[in-house]
C-alpha cells in the first residue's frame, strides 16, 4: 500500500442544523453561516476530484449537526476500516451509513469494536504513513486506542495522553503535511503531547511548527497538500510551507472560515479510502 494515496473519499453534505447545534457553534453568538459553509464544502469536493479521487457523497442528516465531519466515523488504512464509536452521544448514530458504504459499496474489510466500554473518534487517530498515534482524551479512551492496535496489527500503534490538551481531537493540532513532515500547532499543552509522540515514535519526523491551530489544518493526498489560504494561516505559518514542503508537492489553497468555526476543518471533511478493485454498484459524484 502506498501511504497517502487514495482513490475514494466519502463526504457528507452540510446540514442546516450545523448553524447552532454543532460542537463548535456555541463559540459564535450568531451561529455558523450555513450557506458559506456549504460553499466551502463544495470547494473541498471539487478539490478532491481534481486530486484524482472518486467522490461518494452522502445526503445530510439534520439529526446529526456534525455529520459533514465524516473523518470521525471510522479509521481506514489499506483495505481495513475500523468503525468508530464516537465519544459524544450526538454523533454515535452517524456510523450506520458509513458502515453501509464501507462494507456494501467499497467492500472493505470492516472491523467492529468489541469492547462495549470503548470510545473512539477518527479525529484522534493520526496515521503517519509508517505508524499510528492515538490521542486518548476527551473523545477516545484507552479501550478505543486498543481497538485501533488490534485492527491494524501491521503498524506500531502508540497511545498518547491527550486529556490535558485544550483541543478536542489529536488531528485538531497535528496533521501530516507530507511524507515525514508533521504540522504541529502552538501551545505548551500541544508541545507536551508532541514530546510524548517523539518519545515513543519508531521513525523520525520533520516538525513544522505553526503559529495557530488553523494553520495546522491540512490534508496531504495523492501528491497534493490542501491547506488554508495565506490570510487564514498567517504569513509566518504560510512561510513554513515554503520552507518544509517539497516543491514537487502541488499545493491547493482553500478558504475554510465557516467550517472551521464549527469546530473542525479540511482534515475532518473526507473519509479517504484506497480501494484496489472497483465494483459496479459504487456511485460517486
Residue 252: which residues within 8 A CB-CB, separation 6 or more? Answer: 47, 50, 51, 224, 225, 226, 227
**Residue 110 falls inside a structural domain:** yes
In a domain, 166, yes or no: yes
**Distances in Å between the alpha carbon of 229 and those of 218, 219, 241, 266?**
11, 13, 12, 12
User: Are 170 and 135 spatial neighbours (Cβ–Cβ below 8 Å)?
Assistant: yes
* CA distances in angstroms from 104 to 61, 100, 147, 152, 192, listed in the order given: 20, 5, 22, 21, 41
pLDDT number for residue 25: 52
Average pLDDT of span 262-269: 87
C-alpha closest to that of 274 among 67, 72, 54: 54
Within-domain flag for 2 = no
Q: Supply the pLDDT for residue 115.
A: 96
- Where residue 2 falls among pLDDT bands split at 50, 70, 90? confident
Predicted local distance difference test score (pLDDT) of residue 23:
60
Instruction: Print the domain residue range for 45.
Output: 8-273
Residue at 229 is within a domain: yes
CATH number, residue 208: 3.75.10.10
On whether residue 279 sits in a domain, the answer given is no
Quote the number of domains for the chain: 1
Domain annotation covers residue 280 = no
Query: How far apart, in whole angstroms, are the C-alpha atoms of residue 193 and residue 160?
Result: 7
110 neighbors 136 (Cβ within 8 angstroms): no
Eight-class DSSP state of 179: T
* Average pLDDT over all residues of the chain: 92
Q: Is residue 281 part of a domain?
A: no
283 located within any domain: no
219, 224, 217, 195: which is closest to 207 by C-alpha? 195
pLDDT higher at 277 or 109:
109
Amino acid at each position: 500500500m502506498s501511504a497517502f494515496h487514495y482513490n475514494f473519499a466519502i463526504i457528507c453534505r452540510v446540514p442546516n442544523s450545523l448553524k447552532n447545534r454543532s460542537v463548535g457553534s456555541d463559540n459564535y453568538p450568531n451561529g455558523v453561516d450555513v450557506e458559506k459553509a456549504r460553499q466551502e464544502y463544495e470547494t473541498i469536493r471539487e478539490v478532491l476530484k481534481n486530486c484524482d479521487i472518486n467522490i461518494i457523497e452522502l445526503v445530510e442528516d439534520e439529526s446529526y449537526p456534525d455529520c459533514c465531519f465524516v473523518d470521525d466515523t471510522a479509521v481506514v488504512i489499506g483495505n481495513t476500516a475500523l468503525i468508530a464509536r464516537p465519544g459524544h452521544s450526538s454523533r454515535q448514530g452517524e456510523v450506520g451509513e458509513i458502515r453501509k458504504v464501507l462494507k456494501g459499496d467499497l467492500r472493505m474489510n470492516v472491523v467492529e469494536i468489541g469492547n462495549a466500554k470503548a470510545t473512539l473518534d477518527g479525529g484522534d487517530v493520526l496515521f503517519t504513513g509508517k505508524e499510528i498515534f492515538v490521542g486518548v482524551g476527551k473523545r477516545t479512551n484507552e479501550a478505543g486506542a486498543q481497538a485501533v492496535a488490534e485492527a491494524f496489527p501491521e503498524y506500531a500503534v502508540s497511545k498518547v495522553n491527550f486529556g490535558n490538551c485544550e483541543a478536542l481531537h489529536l488531528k485538531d493540532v497535528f496533521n501530516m503535511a507530507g511524507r515525514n513532515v508533521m504540522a504541529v500547532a502552538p501551545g505548551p499543552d500541544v508541545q507536551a503531547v508532541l514530546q510524548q509522540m517523539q518519545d515513543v515514535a519508531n521513525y523520525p519526523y520533520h516538525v513544522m511548527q505553526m503559529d495557530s491551530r488553523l494553520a495546522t489544518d491540512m490534508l496531504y493526498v495523492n501528491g497534493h497538500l490542501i491547506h488554508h489560504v495565506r490570510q487564514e494561516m498567517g504569513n509566518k505559518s504560510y512561510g513554513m510551507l515554503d520552507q518544509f514542503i517539497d516543491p514537487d508537492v502541488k499545493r491547493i489553497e482553500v478558504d475554510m472560515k465557516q467550517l472551521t468555526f464549527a469546530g473542525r476543518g479540511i482534515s475532518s471533511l473526507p473519509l479517504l479510502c484506497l480501494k484496489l478493485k472497483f465494483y459496479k454498484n459504487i456511485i460517486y459524484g
